[in-house]
Amino acid sequence: MAPTATGEETASRLPPLPARGRVLAVLAVLTGGLLAFHGAVPNSPGHLGSLLEAFLPWLGVVVVLLLVLALLRRSATALLALLLPVAVWTYLFGGLLGPGAQAGARGLVVVQHNVSDENADPAGTARTLAGAGPDLIALEELVPAALPEYEKALAPDYPFHAVRGTVGLWSKYPLSGTRLVDIRPDGIEAGWNRGLRTVARTPHGDVAAYVAHLPSVRIRTSGLASSLRDESAALLGRALAAEKTEKVVLMGDLNGTVEDRGLSPLTSRLNVAERGFAFSFPASLPMARIDQVMARSATVDAIRTLPSTGSDHLPVAARIRLD
């Protein structure tokens, strides 16, 4: 019979305590570094920085997985290292988990939705959006065949509306100064109209309302194809910079998250939602919020998703405080 190992022999076979979980500790530090310094990740080649930023909140799942492995490994080293990504993730995204304040007397509720040009139930979609009781409803991918149905369904509660190209805005308040905003990148054919600007005369003063649908991005083996989206965002940013009305609200399918540097021409000029993740795309398994509500001289207090419609996007509703 083989001799039984003594306690000292068994202990000698275990790795030294500081080394146990060293790989997990390194992974934790790397994850924390990506969270803290995502802006340092180069965007060339393949827009890798933007690709990381599109899914940045999901690094929290990596942190949870590392935490479970560290507990199973009983590694004090890994657990200590995990304090870094936990702290950084909480700093970046923890505030989004709070309930937010109520909009109050000086506030608006707005709904943003890419309704899809293949939506088989425009009237039902319109009822879902109106059911949230917003003051403004912004729509993208409006096709001529479906537009009359949206107009008919929304008319009782939203008597004012403006449409330019495939984007539109429905309002409880009078609209004026409506015009097309040219956000068409070079090389896109004429007739590609996806931006509008109008002024809503609300009880709290005039609000310049912008509705935009930026070009789509694609994830390929070479990385993120977002050049057209980035160019369109820059054009929209210039239009916003030239806007004379003090209070501005931007609603749109921007095909990017607010962390994505490709949207910096917008996020550098406008406030983004303070509460709520509201992942809106794809509707079947939401992974990111690419439908955005931003504001200037106002606060986007909270944002949330609404029930699914006939679109591949989920609608989002936001409360805005007019500061």
305's enclosing H/E stretch is strand 299-305
| Gap between the Cα atoms of 266 and 183, Å rounded | 13
Give domain limits for the chain: 19-97, 107-321
State the CB neighbour count (10 A cutoff) for residue 7: 7
| Gap between the Cα atoms of 313 and 290, Å rounded | 9
- Is pTM beyond 0.85 here? yes
| Gap between the Cα atoms of 49 and 139, Å rounded | 29
Over the stretch 304-317, which tens digit does the pLDDT of each residue have?
Answer: 999 999 999 999 99
State the CB neighbour count (10 A cutoff) for residue 278: 24
For residue 4, the 8-state DSSP code is P
Over the stretch 5-41, which tens digit does the pLDDT of each residue have?
Answer: 555 555 455 555 455 689 999 999 999 999 999 999 9
The reported pLDDT for the residue numbered 4 is 57
Q: Which of 50, 35, 40, 27 is nearest to 92 (CA)?
A: 35
| Gap between the Cα atoms of 143 and 191, Å rounded | 13
Residue type at 123 in one-letter notation: A
The token duo for 277 is 């993740």
Over the stretch 105-123, which tens digit does the pLDDT of each residue have?
Answer: 579 999 999 999 999 999 9
Tell me the pLDDT of the chain averaged across its residues: 92
Q: Which of 280, 285, 296 is nearest to 247 (CA)?
A: 296
Architecture of the domain spanning 107-321 = 4-Layer Sandwich (3.60)
The token duo for 119 is 């939506």
For residue 187, the 8-state DSSP code is T
